[in-house]
Amino acid sequence: MVERRKPINVNEAISRMIRFAKAGSVEYIPIEKSYGRFLGEDLIADHHVPPFDRSPYDGFAVRAADTDYTSRNHPVELEIAGEIGAGSVFERPVAACEAVRIMTGAQIPDGCDAVVMLEEVNELVRNGKKYIQIKRNIKAGTNISFTGEDTQKGSILTKKGTYITPGIVALLATFGYKKVPAAKKPKIGVIATGSELLEVDQALEAGKIRNSNAYMIQSQITRAGGEALYFGQFSDDLEVCYNQVKEAIDEVDMLITTGGVSVGDYDYLPDIYAKLGCHVLFNKIKMRPGSVTTVAEKNGKLLYGLSGNPSACYVGFELYARPAIRTFLHSSYPFLKKETATLGADFLKSNPFDRFVRGHISYQDGRLIATPVGLDKSNVVSSLAGANILILLPGGTRGYEAGRDVSVLLLEDQEGLTMEQFMERDVNSRKD
Ligand SMILES: Nc1nc2c(c(=O)[nH]1)N[C@H]1C(S)=C(S)[C@@H](COP(=O)(O)OP(=O)(O)OC[C@H]3O[C@@H](n4cnc5c(N)ncnc54)[C@H](O)[C@@H]3O)O[C@H]1N2
Ligand code: MOO
Ligand SMILES: [Mg+2]
């Protein structure tokens, strides 16, 4: 008798899974390797930036009061008391009617409170002394880059769990992080199952296909910020697969299998979960593709039984594995970013389950256009190549016409959403 599974909705499945997602530890890595990693601690400014008042121009540091009552017809002459380049400091306070030649980035000398650009002064020599002539009144504070105007000491610059961009690398360097506290990458095991699977470098033969999911999942893991550990592909043999899964669990933070998760004669994952004494969180979801996505838990570790069908496998990963990976990486926003876009083409096939259609987002005249890519079937692989979004079409009895608003999940985004934000626009309710 075939097992009858009770489907649950997407948000319920997410809630069940996320209870077992936990943050990992922090490791210190060289700053040169930090781009693309995730911050393991909040980044707090331990000094002001800039740390001193400095000149944003090449010019002369002056005392603004010396230019009071100055005009084109009544210029003021200030004696040049010396010069400083970036990295040097002027050794004494500047006296009345003196100016200091100063270069961009140099510290403003004591006594000065403004900078006049080189282009705005006349330089002259009289009796062997150098002077500048200024023909206008300068306000105190003119052309000064003030201490702390960029960043105030004590402010939180970036929260832990944030994806480290080149801009964040610049901040890390500014604050002296030769070693960066990075969230440790979760180790995610990958196992492919199926007697029909050929290795990538094998020639096609009757009844067989190449194993694409294992490589797809490994790159999805990398994109999500995890470290993939590939255990190989195994034929549909209960004992072999059971032993492999059992051994792999101890070496990883989470384990992903692909294939063998439905109700077929050789779909052994349900038996393996039972034999391992796992707690199956769900094994049927009201979604397409990926309705058979199964998530189980063993001693607090998440085990993902993703479908063998490539599109179903892909979507199952992004909805249920990615948030657990980002949670491990300390992110408070582990879910895919959801945006509203205009559907770029009709999608008239109706389905009682919510659909996650592989699509491509483009910008047209300031609007976001979401267009389905390729054949929309669970067992299709080609549509995945052009997809940078999943278009969310809530289940119902009718299809969707081009031009209407749809929610889309951005696959390449690094900011993400909290679970609450992700669920706010409930994918299970249809907005006709
Ligand atoms: N009687 C029923 N049949 C099926 C049901 C159902 O509810 N009742 N569900 C269907 C749905 S929906 C899906 S999705 C698939 C899920 O299948 P499995 O997860 O059990 O995966 P397999 O049977 O092992 O393979 C399915 C399909 O995918 C190909 N495959 C498998 N592994 C890979 C790989 N690593 N790379 C590329 N392609 C792979 C495999 O050859 C099959 O064509 O079940 C439906 N059936
Ligand atoms: O699990 Mo299936 O992907 O709905 O075709
Ligand atoms: Mg099957």
Instruction: Give the CATH number for residue 64.
Output: 2.170.190.11
Q: Give pLDDT tens digits for 200-229.
A: 999 999 999 999 999 999 999 999 999 999
User: 15 pLDDT exceeds 90?
Assistant: yes
DSSP labels, 127-158? TTEEEEEE-SPPPTTTT-B-TTSSB-TT-EEE
Domain stops at, among 134, 168, 198: 134
**Residue 291 within a domain:** yes
pLDDT score, position 425: 65
pLDDT score, position 3: 82
* Average pLDDT taken over every residue of the chain: 96
Average pLDDT over residues 367-375: 95
Average pLDDT over residues 235-251: 97
Q: Residues 80, 170: one domain?
A: no
Q: Residues 161, 289: one domain?
A: no
**Residue 139 within a domain:** no
- Lining residues, ligand 1, CB within 6 Å: 192, 194, 196-197, 209, 211-214, 258-264, 267, 289, 291-292, 307-310, 312, 378-379
Average pLDDT over residues 170-175: 98
pLDDT score, position 432: 46
The percent of residues in the chain predicted with pLDDT above 70, rounded, is: 98
pLDDT band at residue 236 using 50, 70 and 90 as cut-offs: very high
296: domain range?
10-25+184-328
Domain stops at, among 307, 328, 349: 328
Average pLDDT over residues 306-314: 98
Q: Residues 296, 175: one domain?
A: no
Lookup: tokens for 134: 């200024």
How far is the centre of ligand 1, averaged over its atoms, from the C-alpha of 99 (Å)? Answer: 79
Instruction: Please give the model's pTM, rounded to 2 decimal places.
Output: 0.94
> Candidates 307, 317, 351: which one to mutate for ligand 1, based on the most atoms within 8 Å of Cβ?
307
Q: Residues 203, 307: one domain?
A: yes
Tell me which residue has tokens 């997407």. 10
pLDDT score, position 424: 85
Lookup: tokens for 1: 């008798």
How far is the centre of ligand 1, averaged over its atoms, from the C-alpha of 308 (Å)? Answer: 4
> Candidates 282, 287, 309, 320: which one to mutate for ligand 2, based on the most atoms within 8 Å of Cβ?
309
User: 54 pLDDT exceeds 50?
Assistant: yes
φ and ψ of 396, to 5 deg: 175, -170
Overall domain count for the chain: 4
Average pLDDT over residues 312-337: 98
Q: Which atom of ligand 1 lies at the shortest distance from residue 260's CA?
A: 20
Q: Residues 68, 106: one domain?
A: yes
How far is the centre of ligand 2, averaged over its atoms, from the C-alpha of 379 (Å)? Answer: 8
Q: Residues 99, 227: one domain?
A: no
Q: Residues 312, 194: one domain?
A: yes
**Residue 142 within a domain:** no
DSSP labels, 383-401? HHHT-SEEEEE--BSS-B-
User: 428 pLDDT exceeds 80?
Assistant: no
Cβ atoms of 294 and 280 within 8 Å: the answer is yes
**Residue 429 within a domain:** no
Q: Residues 223, 307: one domain?
A: yes
Average pLDDT over residues 343-372: 95
pLDDT score, position 366: 93
Q: Residues 224, 366: one domain?
A: no
Domain stops at, among 328, 356, 375: 328
User: 253 pLDDT exceeds 50?
Assistant: yes
User: 85 pLDDT exceeds 90?
Assistant: yes
pLDDT score, position 119: 97
Q: Which ligand is nearest to the CA of 259?
A: 1
**Residue 4 within a domain:** no
Cα 259 from Cα 379, distance rounded (Å):
12
